[in-house]
């Protein structure tokens, strides 16, 4: 596609979303609470579309197909499930948290009430680390996508997206993000459905044959749709990503933005139902590319399927890419600020400071996006995933009144110690310590045993510790 046309499409799409965000921001004067929570204002459809849009970043064009290309069918299944399970859990756990803390903004607000300030800070750090990594990964992805689709300098779309989204998010807070989410959700849904039908309609048989072939002609190839050994890494993805997403404050902000528990439940289930098939299809397309032969850049496997597409189709993908990145970036910007304000700064940031923080994080995110390689980003994601996995059960088990806050804190610590113990027993102490920062298997994929060690160890200590403390008192 001609680069000038791509620029026009990009700027036009950004201009539209910027206008929508600005209009939402000017409808009413915001205070600190409404800026971060939009408390009780959203019905089930609005929540569902917002959760869907927030979860569907530009990563959808890269991540699932790369996972499919490297890991095969069962990793795709795991990836698709991991994208939807946080919404399923939110549908049932969210109302419980809302009931216990009606005026919360972040999950760590609940953690403070139940476990204490130190645990709130710890959960806040996990959340910020995960979300900020997600943020600059989105900038990396949009730069790469626009370079592939429109021959752009990657830095230009990064800066353009950052300026526009930060402007309306800094001004309008969560209400502006929610409003743009709805528009972005409809754009994403319609474009993806239409584009997939155009690209692959009527040729399903050959696609399945290519997926079953799974022969990228490299020594890391681990199997096709019938290769069950990749099932373990797929299950590891479900545990790791689900745990991390439960600490994504953007989801929890929308829990309190829901007008009632029923709106939250229905909205979260709607989001799960939309996300699951979309991620699955995009992942299977990665196995299709692998079945057709090895490619130079597996992270962009999906784009190999549209190399010879008509210019109008490429134009639609440009619009789709911008809609996808805006839908997640504006959510992450506001969510990071919410977590910093409530969890790390102990609620001591005023509205002006929150707006400044929203703007200030963008140059940092773009700098990291333009300097860090994909393996480094993946390593940070896995580290945050492991911290979340060791913490998720201690946090949510506190919804059970028998759980003692001291035991929950010990459980989170012992979840990480369990990883070290597992590595020491199966290899040596050095391996156990290395697993804390690099929880991967020999294929470089998420290691199921490591994540299970963190999950089970934290849960056992939390429950057993609570029983012991109850009997001693």
Average pLDDT over residues 218-226: 50
Q: Which of 31, 25, 37 is nearest to 339 (CA)?
A: 37
Domains of the chain plus CATH, in order, are 3-372 (1.20.1730.10), 374-473 (no CATH)
pLDDT tens, 74-116?
788 888 998 999 999 999 999 999 999 999 999 999 999 999 9
Look at residue 141 and tell me whether its pLDDT is greater than 50: yes
Average pLDDT over residues 46-54: 94
- Per-residue pLDDT band for 340 (boundaries 50, 70, 90) equals very high
Question: For residue 202, what pLDDT is reported?
Answer: 57
Highest mean pLDDT among 21-35, 90-104, 234-248: 90-104
d(CA 230, CA 240) in angstroms, rounded, equals 16
- Token pair, residue 114, equals 């139940």
pLDDT at 299 exceeding the cut of 90: no
Nearest to 172 by CA among 21, 53, 64, 389: 21
3-state secondary structure of 472: helix
Range in 252-266, 292-306, 349-363, 382-396 with the lowest mean pLDDT = 292-306
For 393-412, letters b (16+ CB in 10 Å) and e give bbbbbbeeeebbbebbbbbb
What pTM did the predictor assign? 0.91
Query: Is the separation of the CB atoms in 403 and 445 below 8 Å?
Result: no
| Interior/surface letters 306-338, b for 16+ CB within 10 angstroms, e for the rest | eeebeeeebbbbbbbbbbbbbbbbbbbbbbbbb
Alpha helices in 247-346 (DSSP H): 249-257, 261-292, 311-339
Q: Is the pLDDT reported for residue 225 higher than 60?
A: no
In angstroms, rounded to a whole number, what is the distance separating the alpha carbons of residues 43 and 90?
16
Q: Which residues contact 425 (CB under 8 A, 6 or more apart)?
A: none
pLDDT at 374: 72
Among residues 251, 263, 239, 277, which one has the least CA distance to residue 105? 251
Mean pLDDT over each residue of the chain, to the nearest integer: 88
Residues 353 and 359: their CA atoms lie apart, in Å, by 10
How many separate helices (H) and strands (E) can be counted in the chain? 18, 0
Tell which residue, 455, 444, 336, 442, has the closest CA to residue 385: 455
Instruction: Give the whole-number percent of the chain exceeding pLDDT 70.
Output: 93
Q: What is the pLDDT of residues 257-296, one digit of tens each?
A: 999 999 999 999 999 999 999 998 888 888 788 777 767 7
Cross-strand bridge partners of residue 258:
42
Q: Given this model, what pLDDT does residue 298 score?
A: 78
Question: And the tokens for 147?
Answer: 């370079």
Question: Of 59, 100, 29, nearest to 255 (Cα)?
Answer: 100
Place of tokens 């001004």: 171
Please enumerate in sequence order all residues whose Cβ is within 8 A of that of 321, keeping only pairs 6 or more positions apart, or say none: 58, 61, 142, 145, 146, 149
Cα separations in angstroms, 179 against 186, 248, 318: 12, 19, 21
Residue pair 366/136 in contact by the 8 Å Cβ criterion: yes
For residues 179-185, average pLDDT: 93
pLDDT band for 405, please (50, 70, 90 cuts).
very high
Scanning 26-154, the segments in alpha helix (DSSP H) are 32-37, 44-55, 63-71, 73-100, 107-114, 117-150
Decide if 336 contacts 134 (C-beta within 8 A): no
296-to-58, 66, 215, 300 alpha-carbon distances in Å: 20, 12, 14, 9
């Amino acid at each position: 596609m001609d680069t000038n046309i791509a620029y026009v499409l990009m700027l036009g799409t950004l201009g539209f979303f910027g206008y929508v965000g600005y209009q939402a921001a000017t409808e009413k004067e915001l205070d600190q609470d409404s800026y971060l929570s939009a408390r009780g204002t959203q019905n089930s459809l609005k929540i569902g579309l917002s959760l869907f849009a927030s979860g569907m970043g530009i990563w959808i064009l890269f991540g699932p197909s790369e996972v499919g290309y490297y890991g095969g069918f069962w990793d795709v299944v795991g990836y698709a499930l991991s994208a939807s399970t946080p919404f399923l859990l939110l549908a049932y756990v969210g109302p419980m948290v809302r009931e216990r803390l009606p005026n919360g903004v972040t999950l760590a607000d609940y953690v403070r009430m139940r476990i204490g300030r130190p645990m709130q800070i710890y959960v806040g750090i996990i959340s910020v680390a995960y979300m900020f990594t997600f943020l600059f990964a989105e900038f990396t992805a949009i730069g790469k996508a626009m370079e592939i689709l429109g021959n752009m300098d990657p830095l230009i779309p990064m800066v353009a997206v950052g300026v526009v989204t930060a402007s309306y998010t800094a001004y309008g807070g969560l209400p502006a993000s929610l409003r743009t989410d709805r528009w972005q959700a409809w754009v994403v849904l319609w474009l993806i459905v239409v584009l997939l039908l155009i690209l692959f309609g009527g040729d399903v048989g050959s696609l399945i044959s290519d997926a079953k072939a799974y022969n990228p002609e490299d020594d890391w190839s681990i199997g096709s749709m019938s290769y069950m050994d990749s099932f373990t890494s797929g299950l590891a993805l479900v545990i790791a990503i689900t745990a991390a997403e439960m600490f994504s404050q953007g989801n929890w902000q929308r829990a309190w933005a829901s007008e009632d528990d029923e709106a939250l439940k229905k909205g979260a289930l709607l989001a799960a139902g939309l996300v699951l098939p979309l991620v699955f299809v995009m992942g299977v397309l990665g196995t299709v590319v692998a079945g057709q032969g090895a490619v130079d850049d597996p992270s962009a496997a999906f784009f190999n399927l549209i190399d010879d597409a008509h210019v109008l189709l490429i134009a639609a993908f440009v619009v789709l890419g911008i809609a996808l990145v805006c839908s997640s970036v504006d959510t992450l910007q506001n969510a990071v600020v919410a977590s910093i304000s409530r969890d790390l700064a102990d609620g001591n940031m005023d509205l002006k400071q929150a707006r400044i923080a929203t703007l200030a994080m963008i140059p940092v995110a773009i700098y990291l996006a333009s300097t860090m390689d994909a393996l480094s980003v993946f390593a940070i994601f896995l580290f945050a995933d492991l911290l979340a996995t060791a913490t998720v059960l201690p946090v949510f088990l506190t919804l059970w009144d028998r759980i003692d806050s001291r035991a929950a804190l010990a459980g989170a610590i012992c979840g990480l110690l369990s990883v070290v113990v597992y590595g020491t027993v199966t290899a040596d102490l050095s391996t156990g310590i290395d697993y804390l920062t690099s929880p991967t298997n020999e294929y470089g994929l998420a290691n199921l045993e490591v994540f299970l060690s963190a999950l089970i160890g934290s849960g056992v200590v939390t429950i057993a510790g609570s029983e012991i403390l109850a009997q001693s008192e």
